[in-house]
């Protein structure tokens, strides 16, 4: 054990202390979204700012930089746990120290105002109200990219925060392969799914029954309720509050129980990853998720590849009927068809599995053009609407259905969107490989047994934390870096497109 190196030991101690602060902040944030009374907001904001500040101060201290340098000079064995931690500490330290505190504060203020303006702009469906904020944000994004440093596109500096090692040029190529294939699937898939619209599911499904059913499903997938729970929020999320404390949230639509069900299967996918991270490394990068694209692969795998399969409904339909007697009017095949209905629509978060990535590709192109100064902020709505119509065949009548629909830009994230598509591709690729590696998988899934699949994901993905960079982890798990083949094959199979 090379922990004998004093600088490494000090880093462990320091980052574990930071984890105590960060995890308290996670609880403060979770409570803010779930149970906090509204008038408590001011004090809560003060608490969260204080803990973030303390954690930032502890990590960006000059001596932390010196300890990291000491570790680098010591040179831990390539492939060792220590080398992985040091690599990630360095990435994070540079990321956090290269921006002067004054700019961080300016950016936070800007985001607070931008978030508010976005809300109003979206409400009024008027991009002009948000435009000056986005303009200022883009200027700072460029400034940050220069301070962080990058090769190729300045977009790479931002991408790297969410997907270490990802590059705009690679994504451009990936999406260039993906897009025409999706378009070729879309026509036939739409046609084949036209007979069973989502609305065949409509009925009355009481919240309490949905909660009971969702819990039964999440438990069957392997979510440990002794180390986690489900609450209700407007915007569903999964939050890890500590090594044995993972909180999922969802919202309920009493007319359609599948919305909260797939919400929970999605968040439980994130939660299973969280619960599978190695607790013994808690507080260090080795117990963090490797990237957003991998995190999203876990949620998409359970939601789409497990949950939207006919196999799933053959097992769960009779159980669902015990919770929702009126569901007996539909067959498992009809439920499956309804939850796989394909139809181009305006809103990304409501998109089906086929069109989803077209929404992402559009956002990626616009983000890239904005940061490379090939598109003016003022021209975003026109460009969005034009490109959207080309892809989806739908005319956008209002900004709220177009470039104002997503919160991301207003909260200062740039380069986040592509990780959703990486998640889709990774999910399919992992599922395909799990099926190859575990021949009995389909039989087990048909019995509603998920231990083999979860075990495979634990072994291949969860237990590694940030040990390997994301693409290396994908190669170790599946034999190849992220690529569209498995995703397209799964869609073609599902919609019987040859």
The sign of the torsion formed by the CA atoms of 309, 312, 318, 324 equals negative
Backbone angles phi, psi at 491, to 5 degrees: -65, -45
Query: Given candidates 242, 278, 344, 481, which one binds its own copies under the rule CB under 8 A?
Result: 242
What's the closest the beta carbon of residue 240 comes to its own copies, in angstroms? 11
CA–CA distance, 117 with 90 (Å, rounded to integer): 35
Query: Given candidates 4, 77, 226, 349, which one binds its own copies under the rule CB under 8 A?
Result: 226
Query: Given candidates 224, 350, 365, 444, which one binds its own copies under the rule CB under 8 A?
Result: 224
Active-site option among 82, 88, 163, 267: 267
**Do residues 134 and 377 make contact, with C-beta atoms less than 8 angstroms apart?**
yes
Q: Interface with its own copies includes 240 (CB under 8 A)?
A: no
CA–CA distance, 171 with 158 (Å, rounded to integer): 13
Query: Given candidates 5, 12, 36, 319, which one binds its own copies under the rule CB under 8 A?
Result: 36
Residue 165: partners with Cβ closer than 8 Å, 6 or more residues away: 469, 470, 471
Region near its own copies per CB under 8 A, out of 18-26, 325-333, 354-362, 463-471: 18-26
Q: Which two tokens mark 216?
A: 């039964």
65 three-class SS: helix
Q: Which one, 42 or 79, has the nearer CB to its own copies?
A: 42
Region near its own copies per CB under 8 A, out of 60-68, 218-226, 262-270, 477-485: 218-226
**Do residues 299 and 270 make contact, with C-beta atoms less than 8 angstroms apart?**
yes
Q: Output the DSSP codes for 436-497.
A: HH-TTHHHHHHTT--HHHHHHHHHHTGGGTTSS-HHHHHHHHHSS-S-SHHHHHHHHHHTT-
Closest CA to 267 of 245, 236, 243: 236
Q: 66: how many CB neighbours lie within 10 A of its CB?
A: 12
- Is 267 noted as a catalytic residue in this protein? yes
The sign of the torsion formed by the CA atoms of 363, 93, 147, 166 equals negative
Region near its own copies per CB under 8 A, out of 32-40, 76-84, 116-124, 454-462: 32-40
**Do residues 404 and 125 make contact, with C-beta atoms less than 8 angstroms apart?**
yes
DSSP 76: P
CA–CA distance, 398 with 299 (Å, rounded to integer): 31
Q: Interface with its own copies includes 245 (CB under 8 A)?
A: yes
What's the closest the beta carbon of residue 51 comes to its own copies, in angstroms? 7
Q: Interface with its own copies includes 228 (CB under 8 A)?
A: yes
What's the closest the beta carbon of residue 245 comes to its own copies, in angstroms? 4
Q: Which two tokens mark 318?
A: 């009779």
Q: Interface with its own copies includes 216 (CB under 8 A)?
A: no
Query: Given candidates 6, 9, 13, 43, which one binds its own copies under the rule CB under 8 A?
Result: 43
Q: Which one, 112 or 227, has the nearer CB to its own copies?
A: 227
Q: Interface with its own copies includes 206 (CB under 8 A)?
A: no
Query: Given candidates 111, 186, 241, 486, which one binds its own copies under the rule CB under 8 A?
Result: 241
Taking CB under 8 A as the criterion, which residues in 294-323 touch its own copies? none
Query: Given candidates 3, 40, 195, 397, which one binds its own copies under the rule CB under 8 A?
Result: 40
Q: 227: how many CB neighbours lie within 10 A of its CB?
A: 15
What's the closest the beta carbon of residue 222 comes to its own copies, in angstroms? 15
Q: Interface with its own copies includes 20 (CB under 8 A)?
A: yes
Q: Which two tokens mark 431?
A: 């599922």
Q: How many residues bind its own copies (CB under 8 A)?
A: 33
- Termini Cα distance of the chain: 54
CA–CA distance, 461 with 294 (Å, rounded to integer): 8
Region near its own copies per CB under 8 A, out of 76-84, 137-145, 224-232, 292-300: 224-232
What's the closest the beta carbon of residue 84 comes to its own copies, in angstroms? 23
Closest CA to 27 of 210, 209, 176, 240: 240
**Do residues 232 and 251 make contact, with C-beta atoms less than 8 angstroms apart?**
yes
Q: Which one, 153 or 249, has the nearer CB to its own copies?
A: 249
Region near its own copies per CB under 8 A, out of 28-36, 385-393, 395-403, 417-425: 28-36
Q: Which two tokens mark 400?
A: 């709220």
Taking CB under 8 A as the criterion, which residues in 258-287 touch its own copies? 282
Q: Which one, 44 or 136, has the nearer CB to its own copies?
A: 44
Taking CB under 8 A as the criterion, which residues in 132-161 touch its own copies? none
Query: Given candidates 5, 12, 27, 140, which one binds its own copies under the rule CB under 8 A?
Result: 27
Query: Given candidates 94, 231, 310, 350, which one binds its own copies under the rule CB under 8 A?
Result: 231
The sign of the torsion formed by the CA atoms of 397, 133, 155, 406 equals negative
What's the closest the beta carbon of residue 227 comes to its own copies, in angstroms? 4
Residue 361: partners with Cβ closer than 8 Å, 6 or more residues away: 175, 178, 179, 391, 421
Q: Interface with its own copies includes 39 (CB under 8 A)?
A: yes
Taking CB under 8 A as the criterion, which residues in 49-68 touch its own copies? 50-51
Q: 443: how many CB neighbours lie within 10 A of its CB?
A: 12
Q: Which one, 37 or 79, has the nearer CB to its own copies?
A: 37
Q: Which residues on neighbouring strands pair with residue 17, listed in sequence order?
A: none
Query: Given candidates 12, 31, 124, 348, which one binds its own copies under the rule CB under 8 A?
Result: 31
What's the closest the beta carbon of residue 278 comes to its own copies, in angstroms? 14
Q: Residues with catalytic annotation? A: 267
In the complex, which residues of this chain contact its own copies (CB under 8 A)? 17, 20, 23-24, 27-28, 31, 35-40, 42-44, 46-47, 50-51, 224-229, 231, 241-245, 282
């Amino acid at each position: 054990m090379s922990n004998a190196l004093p600088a490494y030991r000090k880093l462990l101690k320091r980052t574990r202390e930071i984890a105590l602060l960060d995890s308290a902040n996670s609880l403060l944030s979770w409570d803010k979204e779930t149970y906090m009374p509204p008038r408590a907001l001011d004090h809560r904001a003060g608490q969260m700012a204080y803990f973030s500040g303390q954690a930032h101060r502890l990590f960006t201290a000059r001596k932390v930089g010196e300890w990291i340098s000491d570790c680098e000079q010591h040179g831990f064995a390539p492939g060792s746990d220590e080398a992985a931690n040091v690599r990630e500490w360095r990435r994070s330290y540079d990321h956090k120290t290269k921006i002067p505190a004054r700019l961080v504060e300016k950016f936070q203020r800007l985001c607070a105002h931008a978030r508010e303006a976005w809300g109003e702009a979206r409400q009024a469906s008027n991009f002009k109200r948000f435009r000056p904020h986005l303009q200022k944000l883009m200027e700072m994004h460029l400034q940050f990219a220069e301070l962080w440093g990058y090769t190729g596109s300045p977009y790479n500096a931002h991408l790297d925060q969410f997907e270490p090692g990802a590059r705009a040029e690679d994504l451009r190529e990936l999406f260039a392969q993906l897009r025409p294939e999706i378009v070729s699937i879309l026509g036939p898939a739409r046609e084949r799914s036209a007979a069973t619209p989502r609305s065949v599911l409509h009925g009355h499904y009481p919240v309490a029954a949905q909660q009971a059913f969702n819990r039964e499903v999440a438990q069957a997938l392997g979510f440990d309720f002794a180390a986690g729970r489900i609450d209700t929020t407007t915007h569903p999320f999964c939050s890890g509050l500590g090594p044995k404390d993972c909180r999922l949230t969802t919202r309920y639509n009493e007319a359609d129980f599948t919305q909260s069900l797939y919400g929970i299967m999605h968040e439980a996918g994130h939660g299973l990853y969280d619960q599978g991270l190695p607790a013994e490394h808690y507080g260090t990068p080795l117990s963090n998720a490797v990237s957003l694209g991998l995190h999203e692969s876990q949620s998409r795998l359970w939601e789409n590849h497990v949950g939207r399969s006919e196999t799933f409904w053959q097992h769960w339909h009779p159980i669902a009927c015990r919770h929702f007697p009126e569901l007996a009017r539909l067959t498992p095949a009809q439920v499956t068809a309804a939850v796989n209905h394909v139809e181009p629509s305006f809103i990304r978060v409501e998109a089906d599995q086929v069109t989803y990535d077209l929404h992402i590709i559009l956002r990626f192109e616009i983000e890239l053009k904005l940061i490379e100064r090939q598109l003016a902020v003022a021209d975003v709505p026109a460009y969005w609407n034009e490109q959207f119509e080309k892809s989806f065949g739908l005319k956008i009548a209002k900004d709220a259905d177009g470039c104002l629909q997503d919160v991301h830009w207003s909260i200062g994230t740039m380069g986040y969107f592509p990780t959703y598509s990486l998640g889709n591709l990774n999910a399919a690729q992992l599922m395909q490989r799990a099926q190859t590696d575990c021949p009995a998988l389909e039989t087990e899934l048909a019995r509603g047994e998920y231990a083999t699949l979860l075990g495979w994901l634990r072994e291949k993905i969860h237990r590694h934390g940030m040990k390997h960079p994301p693409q290396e982890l994908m190669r170790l798990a599946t034999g190849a870096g992220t690529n569209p083949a498995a995703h397209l094959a799964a869609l073609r199979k599902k919609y019987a497109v040859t």
